[in-house]
Amino acid sequence: MTFQELIQQGIPSVLPQAKPYETNINHAPKRKEILSEEEKKLALKNALRYFDARHHAELIPEFKEELNTFGRIYMYRFRPDYEMKARAISDYPGKSEQAKAIMLMIQNNLDYAVAQHPHELITYGGNGGVFSNWAQYLLTMKYLAEMTNEQTLVMYSGHPMGLFPSHKDAPRVVVTNGMMIPNYSKPDDWEKFNALGVTQYGQMTAGSYMYIGPQGIVHGTTITVLNGFRKIKKSPTGGLFVTSGLGGMSGAQPKAGNIAGCVTVCAEVNPKITKIRHEQGWINEIVTDITLLVARVRKALDNKEVVSIAYLGNVVDVWERFDQENLHIDLGSDQTSLHNPWAGGYYPTGFSFEEANDMMASNPEQFKSEVQKTLRRHAAAINKHTAKGTYFFDYGNAFLLEASRAGADVMAENQTLGREFKYPSYVQDIMGPMCFDYGFGPFRWVCTSGKPEDLAKTDAIACQVLEEMMRNSPSEIQQQMQDNITWIKGAQENKLVVGSQARILYADAEGRMKIAAAFNKAIANNEIGPVVLGRDHHDVSGTDSPYRETSNIYDGSRFTADMAIHNVIGDSFRGATWVSIHNGGGVGWGEVINGGFGMLLDGSEDADRRLKSMLFWDVNNGISRRSWARNEGAIFAIKRAMEVEPLLQVTLPNLVDENLL
């Protein structure tokens, strides 16, 4: 069968041969035993409902073995034999170009070069799933191949509920992930219902089909590192940045350090992913001996090298040894997946990678105890460095939150609402006041032709738009504009593409609309093929997350989730091609609500109308909320937006004299 025929087939009527477990692939760790015997039967019944009853006798023992061995039913047998990658949009079968674009983005999320655990359908973060099992993938792709622009596919936490009648301006796909009733939203609840196959953790852009490989986080990390050095009034040249994690998201850190121009040390315990990041060029060197690491870093600093070094080992050892050696760290952070601390997101020191994985599955209580012990040591070592002048920031991965729950010394002496911890979230000090409040956030696009030359043309178009805008921009946003012009000019030489021909830059509403309109015009003129627009949920408006995206909101509303819900509803009726809303993201299930979108530009007048309506709302929704929280930059930005658009009328805050209070 051809690729198109296999997509249209969906779940095959004749069972494919069982597939061997491939040991050379980076697999998800075994999940802990969470289901009772009766619940295991229910998990099997839930999995078997995808298949004709005549296959059940053959599949039951196989699915039971998967559940007992891995803690989940992935249905490995049904993994497609074709190469998993984003193809040109013209290669996909279907009646709707919008649906074809979504198929392209789904396959990109599962590309072996992109996905962290591709056989378990996990894109990044240890548990950020596109689907829970391969039957869901097959059925979803079949529905997308069949749908018209008068239908909408409803996705229920990885499960394709079905095609429903709608209209051409409705989203083609509506996605929800992990939306739990609050009283049933504890860690063991998520584990249980995920194991039962009725919900999944979609992360941010994994379960919403908008991940573009590490490039997305490379850009955000580059901006963060540059501004981190600006905060300490030091050039990145000859500076040292220490962090940890080389997974799907965190693997971007060393590349960002190189672009910023400093020495980066990034610790990672997983040898497979370390090797992959080295082969992909995201890190320059791997060091396995802590003594050799100290010598190598000293040499790099003395020579003012721009180099990224992966230390294959635990980051706690790095912090402690660098303290003993009095090796000064300028910037410090951590980007291990601490939203997922008990299932492979963070590893305890004193154990090999294999020993820790065994303990995680066979003795989860001991594993939790060892992780918390390590977090206390980790924080203690960081405190010694910050006492010597290191600037440490939480990278929104729940490091400080989980460290505090472990009893680590991370709480502020004089706690206030919004400043509970000793160290700021990077959003509090950097991204929030410098970018999000002014409407600047991660605008991204994918060239659906798959042609590098199309991406080069879009880079040139975006750069031209930004340079023209910068000439007339107010002084308040000149730095943001210049950082992104510099970024886009260096994008080609930095070889940021992994998977699809994609790009990201930070732009405000005006920039996003003007760049998108220029793309749409180029498509209409047959200069480039269709383009998918999107963004990370980590943005101005898409996410309510009290310790990350909304951590620089101090009126108490950072613990509410109205903005993300408003965002996805507003995007839905303003022309998004697909929309998503998730419980959980980079800081963990139960800690955050995320809203996202995707939009296909096809050169039509309809696309031009939709992009202007939706992108304006998608950004200014968040700016208005931030301005109501009395954020100075957001008040400036929303007033400017109202001057441009007379139909926009936003309630502005009246400021209180502190002396009166």
Residue with the two structure tokens 């009527």: 13
User: How does residue 419 score in pLDDT terms, banded at 50, 70 and 90?
Assistant: confident
Q: Is 126 marked as a binding-site residue?
A: yes
Q: 621 lies in a domain?
A: yes
Q: Which residues pair with 425 in a beta bridge?
A: 394
- Find the range with the poorest average confidence among 47-56, 321-330, 433-442, 495-504: 495-504
- Beta-strand pair 307-312/285-287: parallel
Let me know if residue 156 belongs to a domain.
no
Does one domain contain both 374 and 401? yes
d(CA 150, CA 155): 17
Least confident of 265-269, 324-328, 415-419, 439-443: 415-419
Residue 661 lies in a domain: no
User: Is the pLDDT reported for residue 418 higher than 80?
Assistant: no
N residues, the chain: 661
Which pLDDT band, with edges at 50, 70 and 90, does 473 fall under? very high
Name the average pLDDT for the chain: 94
Same domain, 369 and 457: no
Dump the DSSP string for 289-305. Answer: -HHHHHHHHHHHHHTT-
Asked if residue 160 belongs to a domain, the reply is no
Number of domains the chain contains: 3
In the prediction, which pLDDT does 125 show?
Answer: 78
Residue ending a domain, among 422, 437, 472, is 422
Domain assignment of residue 441, yes or no = yes
pLDDT of 74 above 90: yes
Residues sharing a CB contact under 8 Å with residue 654, sequence separation 6 or more, in sequence order: none
| pLDDT, position 557 | 95
Is 391 annotated in some ligand binding site?
no
The answer to whether 598 and 209 are in contact (CB under 8 A) is yes
* Helices vs. strands in the chain: H and E counts, helices first: 22, 19
Rg (the chain; Cα; Å): 24
Domain co-membership, 96 together with 229: no
Q: What is the CATH number of the domain that holds 230?
A: 3.40.50.10730
Q: What pLDDT score does 396 carry?
A: 76
* pLDDT tens for each residue of 193-242: 999 999 998 888 999 999 988 788 888 889 899 999 999 999 999 999 99
Section 169-179 average pLDDT? 97
Least confident piece of the model among 75-84, 101-110, 330-339: 330-339
Residue bearing the bigger pLDDT, 213 or 2: 2
Q: Quick one: average pLDDT of 575-596?
A: 90
Q: Does any domain span residue 64? A: yes
Stretch 274-289: mean pLDDT: 92
Q: What count of Cα atoms within 13 Å lies in the side-chain half-sphere of residue 509?
A: 26
- Residues 616, 499, single domain; the answer is yes
Contact 310, 246 (CB under 8 A): yes
pLDDT interval class at 547 (50, 70, 90) = confident
C-alpha torsion angle, residues 535, 540, 543, 547 (rounded to 10): 120
Q: Which long-range contacts (CB under 8 A, 24 or more apart) does 606-611 make?
A: 606/168, 606/169, 606/575, 607/520, 608/517, 608/520, 609/575, 610/169, 610/574, 610/575, 610/576, 611/513, 611/516, 611/517, 611/520, 611/533, 611/575
4-30 mean pLDDT: 94
Looking at residue 436, its pLDDT comes to: 95
Question: Do 311 and 287 form a contact (C-beta atoms < 8 A)?
Answer: yes
- Which of 360, 390, 422 corresponds to the end of one domain? 422
- pLDDT for 248: 65
Same structural domain, 482 and 353:
no
**Which position has the token pair 């949920």?**
537
Indicate which CATH number applies to the domain containing 195.
3.40.1770.10
Distance CA 383, CA 422 (A): 9
The confidence score (pLDDT) of residue 78 equals: 98
Would strands 173-177 and 411-416 be described as parallel, antiparallel, or unpaired? unpaired
**Tokens 């939709």 found at:** 610
Q: Are residues 326 and 431 in the same domain?
A: no
Domain boundary among the residues 369, 395, 422 is at 422
State which residues form the domain around 30: 1-81
The per-residue pLDDT for 311 is: 98
249-271 residue pLDDT tens: 667 899 999 999 999 999 999 99
Q: What digits encode the pLDDT tens for the residues 602-634?
A: 999 999 999 999 999 999 999 999 999 999 999
Whether the Cβ atoms of residue 624 and residue 599 lie closer than 8 Å to each other: no
**Was 395 annotated as part of a binding site?**
yes
Alpha helices by DSSP H, 437-528: 452-470, 478-490, 509-524
Residue 551 lies in a domain: no
DSSP string, 70-135: HSS---GGGS-SS--S---GGGS--S-HHHHHHHHHHHHHH-TTT-SBGGGTEEETTTEES-SSHH
Are 94 and 74 in a shared domain? no
- Give the model's confidence band at 302: pLDDT under 50 very low, under 70 low, under 90 confident, else very high: very high
Predicted pLDDT of residue 249: 65
Distances (CA, A) of 474 to 464, 469, 479: 18, 10, 10
Residue 175 forms beta bridges with which residues?
155, 580
In a domain, 252, yes or no: yes
Closest CA to 501 of 537, 453, 548: 453
Same domain, 461 and 409: no
Please indicate, yes or no, whether residues 400 and 533 belong to a single structural domain of this protein: no
Looking at the fold, whether 46 and 183 belong to one and the same domain comes out as no
Indicate whether 265 and 390 sit together in one domain: yes
Could you give the count of Cα atoms lying within 13 Å of 582 in the half-sphere of its Cβ? 34
pLDDT, tens digit, for every residue of 20-68? 999 989 899 899 899 999 999 999 999 999 999 999 999 999 999 999 9
- The verdict on 261 and 364 lying in the same domain is yes
Is 586 known as a binding-site position?
yes
